[in-house]
Amino acid sequence: MIAVAAGTNRIDPYLIPALDGVAYGLLVFVAASGLVFCFGVANILNLAHGLLYAIGGYTAAALLDGGWVSLALALGVGVLAAAAAGVLLAGLLTPIATGNHLSQALLTFGVALAGGSLLVAGFGPDDPQVQVPAALEGSVVVAGHRYAAYRLVFIVVAAVLAAALYLVVRRTRAGMLVRAAVDDPEMVACLGVSPAWIRAGVLAAAGALAGAAGVLGAPIIGPGTDTADTVLLLSLVVVVLGGLGSMAGTLLAALAIGEIQTLGVALMPSAAPFLLFAAMAAVLAVRARGLAGRWSAA
């Protein structure tokens, strides 16, 4: 139970870790939603998804110089580069797009290994430093505690991205076609819309989301030799916990992961390395299909 300290300026000592958990969870949500979207809609198991995040992270490390212009440039370049990688991946997957997931996993895993090696060769084996805008380097006061300004801004931006994703899926024609493709791809084809183009668009959108997460989340999960593996592992846990193809389940699972990764360390440091997988096992033991079902914007 979270303790509440007495006094006007003394607050719960776990408030900051909990806030960190929200930031971490929203970062995982933005990164993992692309994988969930890809798996739930395009029916493709993309084990190169972490590589798309790493592209955004390395782009941030290369372009950020402490100014707002460089942040906008890094975001634009990172999103476009990751989206282009998603389209390239869609082209490579075309012959086995309707095949079994084992073939897709092997191909995308090979792409992830090759792409990761290229990034390390290009940027070096050391983890690069990421320089955020100078105005966001300081801290702000949250309920009497100092908290990193960048993380607070990131929470707001990530929440806006999550709301935008919901509106795109729920309120736009593109979102309607994507949802229709889940239920009846033959009907969508009869409307003159190629399911293959929808699949390519989904992979591009998944790449763009991962690229945006990589740029904006670089100060939280920074670029490095194990970044792609870390993000892929977290994204797969979100898929399992949230339930295949559910936006609401994805958000709930990502926030849960964020709190487990931060509050878990604060409350039970000795058990922290096992908490994430223990929680996943507990959820699956009660609800085998995850917290929610298939893709829906609800």
Burial of 8 (0-12, 13-18, 19+ CB in 10 A): exposed
Position 107 in a domain: no
CA 187-188-191 angle, to 5 degrees, is 95
User: DSSP string covering 169-183, please?
Assistant: HHHSHHHHHHHHHHH
Per-residue tokens: 60: 């941030």
Nearest-angstrom CA–CA distance, 160 and 216: 13
Predicted local confidence at residue 5, as pLDDT: 42
Q: Where are the strands (E) in the chain, listed by range?
A: 139-142, 145-148
The structure tokens listed for 220 are: 């939280």
What six digits make up the tokens of 282? 């507990």
| pLDDT in single tens digits along all 298 residues of the chain | 334 444 444 557 778 888 889 999 999 998 888 887 777 766 788 899 999 999 999 999 999 988 899 999 999 999 999 999 999 988 888 887 766 788 888 999 999 999 999 998 999 888 888 888 888 888 888 877 888 899 999 999 988 988 888 788 778 877 777 767 666 667 777 777 777 787 788 889 889 999 999 999 999 888 988 899 999 988 888 888 887 667 788 888 899 889 988 888 778 877 777 888 888 888 888 877 777 655 454 4
DSSP one-letter code for 175: H
Domain that holds residue 195: 13-96+133-291
Please give the structure tokens belonging to residue 255.
Answer: 């926030």
pLDDT attached to residue 167: 84
Q: What φ, ψ does residue 22 adopt, rounded to 5°?
A: -65, -45
Assigned domain for 17 exists: yes
Residue 126 lies in a domain: no
Per the listing, tokens 């592992």 go with 233
* 163 domain-assigned: yes
227 alpha-carbon distance from chain centroid: 12
Give the separation between CA 33 and CA 45, rounded to whole angstroms.
Answer: 13
Please check whether residue 263 lies inside any domain of the structure: yes
Residue 29's alpha-carbon distances to 12, 132, 201, in angstroms, are 26, 21, 20
| Tokens, residue 115 | 């792409």
Phi, psi at 141, each rounded to 5°: -90, 120
* Predicted local confidence at residue 182, as pLDDT: 62
How high is the pLDDT of residue 62? Answer: 93
Q: What are phi and psi of 14, to 5 degrees?
A: -100, 5
In a domain, 273, yes or no: yes
The tally of domains found in the chain comes to 1
Residue 144 lies in a domain: yes
Query: Which residues neighbour 263 within 8 Å (Cβ) at sequence distance 6 or greater?
Result: 14, 17, 18, 21
Res 202: pLDDT: 85
pLDDT for 294 equals 55
Q: Which amino acid is located at 14 in the chain?
A: Y
Please check whether residue 252 lies inside any domain of the structure: yes
Please name the helix (run of DSSP H) or strand (run of DSSP E) that holds residue 105, with its range, or none: helix 101-123
